[in-house]
Chain A
Amino acid sequence: MRITVNGKHKQITDPTSIAALFEMVGVNPEQVVAEHNGTILAPQQYRETILREGDTIELIQFVGGG
């Protein structure tokens, strides 16, 4: 199954939750915000949200900036 994470295509084995995707990518869920097909997810949705073919995920975090 193919999804897009931060603009890059990624092959995953289904079914994969957002929480599992965090682990796969090596991201600390407490340090990022996730958008699933343009909708911001609350942390309690990470386990229950299962990715589907063609889904778009954005993982966003704070960086230095003025």
Chain B
Amino acid sequence: MDLLQIANRTFRSRLMVGTGKFSSHQAMLDAMEHSGCEIVTVALRRVDINNPQDSLLSHIDRERYLLLPNTSGARTAEEAIRLARIARAAGCEPWIKLEVTPDPYYLLPDPIETLKATEILAKEGFIVLPYMPADPVLAKRLEEAGAATVMPLGAPIGTNRGLLTRDLIAIIIEQARIPVVVDAGLGAPSHAAEAMEMGAAAVLVNTALADTPDPAAMARAFSKGVEAGREAYLAGLGPKRLQASASSPLTGFLRNES
């Protein structure tokens, strides 16, 4: 069976789902269900003390889904490490999707702070899945620092623009000895399929599901895209050529050859 292995755990699904921006908890749960995902990301924020709400966790079946807390909102390694420790104190397994995004407009990850935080958190025993720019050199540095995966971005978070970083992600995949999970910017099942065809180990989507009229249907479509891409990768894509290579016989035409 084709399983995804990250650190000491294996997963059947290669589609991870973010829980942000859904119109309701039910819409989120439906999308999770129909995606077939086994890993869901969550964020940490201050409780609104004037209007405390139920924690998201009261809605998610933690026997079924591995909770992957993120460090979104962190602008420095220090802030990200603080969030990771809070997540662990909340009783989560020590898995952390490390995000350090000081730039508020493109939410691009800070490579230096990300590397710094990865080193520290890995030493503290966290399973670190760092969100990163699609930089092959950084990917190797994160791997050496103890990252469990690397999560290069396809395009800025929430943009639905697809694999703008395709060629760099191909190099990351070629060189990585840990799973490469393409995160951010994937907006269509074809984008997810493309990443999987290239040999990505998994993809993570959120906005592409949450920001659609029917998140559950889109989750099914993404699940199929990921499966199709994975099967194509395992089967091996045919070679690309510049010139045509006829599929039909080049003999027996209904004309007299001179």
Contact = CB atoms under 8 A, between A and B. Distances in A.
- Are A and B bound to each other? yes
Interface stretch (B43-51, B137-145, B235-243, B245-253): B43-51
Contact of B44 (A5, A42, A61, A66): A61
A60 B19 contact: no
A6 B18 contact: no
Interface in A2-39: 5-8, 10, 25-28, 31-33, 35
Contacts of A61: 44-45, 47, 55-56
B144 to A, nearest CB: 26
Given A31-B55, A65-B43, A66-B70, A8 B86 contact: no
Given A35-B86, A40-B86, A62 B206 contact: no
A28 B216 CA distance: 31
A17 to B, nearest CB: 17
B46 A62 contact: no
B28 interface: yes
Contact of A64 (B19, B46, B48, B85): B19
A65 B183 CA distance: 13
A60 B45 contact: yes
Given A32-B55, A33-B89, A60 B20 contact: no
A33 B83 CA distance: 11
Chain B at the A interface: SS class: mixed
B72 interface: yes
Contacts of B85: 40
A60 B47 contact: yes
A59 B55 contact: no
A58 B19 contact: no
Contacts of B28: 64
Q: Which of B18, B22, B45, B157 has the most CB of A within 10 A?
A: B45
A27 B47 contact: yes
Interface in B65-105: 67, 69-70, 72, 85-86, 89-90
B42 A33 contact: no
A30 B86 CA distance: 14
B47 to A, nearest CB: 4
Given A28-B52, A42-B89, 7 more contacts: A6-B49, A26-B52, A27-B47, A27-B52, A61-B47, A63-B45, A65-B20
Interface of B: 18-22, 28, 41-49, 52, 54-58, 67, 69-70, 72, 85-86, 89-90, 157-158, 183-184, 204, 206-207
